């Protein structure tokens, strides 16, 4: 690829003070630049530990020019290797599985390695390097690995930056939420016809909720889609959200004080029913960060008096943590600043989003689909902490084919997926040379692009 100095970048690639030029989402040359300088040179989540629970288990993570094989070496060790035989380049693994007898064997000529990447056998070894081929000459090529919060992070390129420095801005926030103690509930993957950044950005703000998810904010949706433009607009929920950006492109937003989890409801009626009904919309629409048992626990408070000085939200928290203690189920730290994160999101640059709620979390991971700037692989993980008596099950991905199919995706992801391809289509038109970003509610998006620029500019 011909390198273009950053001061000579096309206008269509530029990050502006209040917006983004559309070519960053559509130009194949910009996508190539991202693969060359971003995806090859940043830490990224390649797997959850639940994908490789037993010795010999493996999973393959593909990103651009890289195919990475993540392997469980033993109970305490995970390694990652470039997924290529040093003999003729054959991919040594596909998708996910377990290496039989804990041996990695090339299907082409039968060369063999142990799980730690040391060569065990070369067919007709005397034919190579004048009979002087050493095991270390053909050891599997390792990729730097860091285990954190239940994720396996890898760095595909040479000279990795410090993972500790990279993750520092969001490290404590995530660990306090017990994300590392959460295990597989379900995991779906689907190809979406949009740039990976378009898909990520759809979830970096709550500003879209009234129009995209009208069932979650009825008053706002009624005003947006209604006829009475003279009436003052309602108090939209996103006005209560708190947004923060961090170094290295990370960010987060909080639901604020007026959330259903905090016991806040705006409609007259029984508070328990209203809180439970609201949370149940998330169960029926997503079945991820809020689960049916959470709603049942809210309903169990029906008819019970709320002590003076307490609130419905506080009583729910008390019941939640008492139940978890009986089950010996790990939970987030019961501290105000941690509980405030429920209903919000932590964004880990460049492509990982964690949406925590109680002892559960929905996780999004988005990455380019090959080198096509108009296609991405979108994954949704539903995770939760488990009672001590319940053994985690191995995470296996369900590959979906139709983002609009109710049998494959519930209502909330279908609503989001309905927007994402339309955004990509609009960005290709002559009338969309740039997009505008809200100074506050979309600040995480701008921060992400500014960090991308730090990777790819000359």
Write down the domain spans for the chain: 1-42+163-206+241-458, 51-160
Domains 1-42+163-206+241-458 and 51-160 share a fold: no
Are the CB atoms for 19 and 362 separated by under 8 Å?
A: no
Are the CB atoms for 413 and 80 separated by under 8 Å?
A: no
Q: Which of 381, 387, 377 is nearest to 364 (CA)?
A: 381
The pLDDT, as a whole number, for residue 1 is 42
In the CATH scheme, what is the code of domain 1-42+163-206+241-458?
3.90.380
The pLDDT, as a whole number, for residue 8 is 83
Distance CA 12, CA 24 (A): 7
Residue 350: cis peptide before it, omega within 30 degrees of 0: yes
Q: Which residues of 61-84 are buried (b: 16+ CB within 10 A; e: fewer)?
A: bbbbebbbbbbbbeeeebbbbbbb
CB atoms near residue 435 (< 10 Å): 20
Distance of CA 311 to the CA centre of its chain: 33
Are the CB atoms for 404 and 411 separated by under 8 Å?
A: no
Are the CB atoms for 77 and 53 separated by under 8 Å?
A: no
The pLDDT, as a whole number, for residue 255 is 80
Which are the contacts of 199, defined by CB distance < 8 A and separation ≥ 6? 192, 366, 376, 378, 420
Q: Which of 12, 314, 360 is nearest to 183 (CA)?
A: 360
The pLDDT, as a whole number, for residue 224 is 82
What number of residues does the chain have?
458
H or E segment and range at residue 30? helix 28-33
Is domain 51-160 given the CATH code 2.102.10.10 in the classification? yes
Consecutive sets of 10 residues in the chain, 458 residues long: mean pLDDT of each? 66 94 97 96 98 98 96 97 97 97 97 97 95 96 98 96 98 97 97 98 93 88 78 80 96 76 60 92 94 95 91 92 96 93 96 96 97 98 96 96 95 95 95 92 97 91
The pLDDT, as a whole number, for residue 282 is 94
Query: Both ends of the chain: CA-CA distance in Å?
Result: 13
Q: Which tokens go with 333?
A: 């730290």
Q: Which residues of 196-225 are buried (b: 16+ CB within 10 A; e: fewer)?
A: bbbbbbbbbbbbbbbebbbebbebbbebee
DSSP state of 68: E
**What angle do helix axes 312-327 and 271-285 make, rounded to 10 degrees?**
60
- In the block, tokens 């509930």 appear at 185
Which are the contacts of 393, defined by CB distance < 8 A and separation ≥ 6? 50, 183, 184
The pLDDT, as a whole number, for residue 21 is 96
- Residue 53, phi then psi, degrees to nearest 5: -75, -25
The pLDDT, as a whole number, for residue 236 is 81
Burial class (CB in 10 A: 0-12, 13-18, 19+), 55: middle
């Amino acid at each position: 690829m011909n390198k273009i100095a950053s001061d000579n970048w096309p206008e269509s690639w530029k990050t502006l003070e209040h917006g983004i030029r559309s070519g960053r989402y559509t130009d194949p040359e910009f996508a190539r630049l991202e693969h060359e300088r971003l995806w090859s040179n940043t830490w990224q989540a390649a797997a959850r530990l639940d994908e490789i629970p037993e010795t010999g288990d493996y999973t393959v993570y593909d990103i651009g020019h890289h195919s990475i094989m993540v392997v469980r070496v033993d109970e305490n060790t995970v390694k990652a290797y470039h997924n290529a035989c040093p003999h003729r380049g054959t991919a040594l693994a596909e998708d996910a599985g377990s290496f039989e007898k804990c041996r990695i064997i090339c299907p082409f000529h039968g060369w063999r390695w142990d799980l730690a990447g040391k060569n065990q056998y070369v067919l007709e070894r005397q034919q190579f390097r004048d009979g002087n081929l050493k095991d270390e000459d053909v050891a599997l090529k390792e990729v730097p690995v860091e285990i954190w919060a239940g994720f396996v992070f890898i760095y595909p390129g040479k000279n990795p930056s410090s993972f500790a420095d990279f993750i520092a801005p969001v490290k404590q926030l995530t660990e306090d939420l017990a994300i590392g103690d959460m295990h597989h509930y379900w995991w779906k993957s689907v190809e979406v016809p949009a740039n990976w950044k378009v898909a990520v950005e759809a979830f970096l703000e709550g500003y879209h909720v009234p129009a995209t998810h009208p069932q979650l904010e009825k008053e706002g949706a009624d005003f947006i889609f209604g006829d009475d433009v003279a009436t003052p607009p309602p108090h939209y929920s996103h006005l209560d959200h708190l947004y923060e950006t961090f170094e290295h492109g990370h960010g987060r937003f909080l639901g604020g004080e007026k959330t259903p989890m905090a016991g806040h409801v705006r409609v007259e009626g029984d508070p328990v029913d209203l809180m439970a009904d609201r949370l149940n919309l998330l169960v029926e629409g997503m079945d991820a960060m809020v689960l049916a048992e959470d709603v049942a626990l809210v309903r169990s408070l029906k008819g019970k008096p709320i002590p003076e000085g307490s609130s419905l939200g506080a009583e729910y928290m008390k019941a939640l943590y008492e139940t978890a203690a009986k089950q010996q189920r790990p939970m987030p730290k019961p501290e105000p600043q941690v509980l405030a994160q429920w209903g919000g999101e932590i964004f880990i640059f460049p492509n990982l989003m964690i949406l925590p709620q109680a002892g559960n979390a929905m996780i999004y991971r988005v990455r380019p689909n090959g080198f096509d700037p108009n296609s991405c692989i979108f994954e949704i993980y539903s995770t939760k902490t488990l009672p001590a008596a319940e053994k985690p099950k191995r995470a296996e991905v369900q590959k979906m084919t139709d983002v609009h199919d109710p049998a494959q995706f519930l209502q909330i992801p279908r609503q989001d997926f309905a927007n994402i391809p339309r955004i990509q289509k609009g960005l290709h038109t002559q009338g969309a040379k740039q997009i505008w970003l809200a100074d506050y509610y979309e600040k995480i998006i701008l921060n992400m692009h500014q960090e991308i620029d730090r990777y790819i500019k000359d």
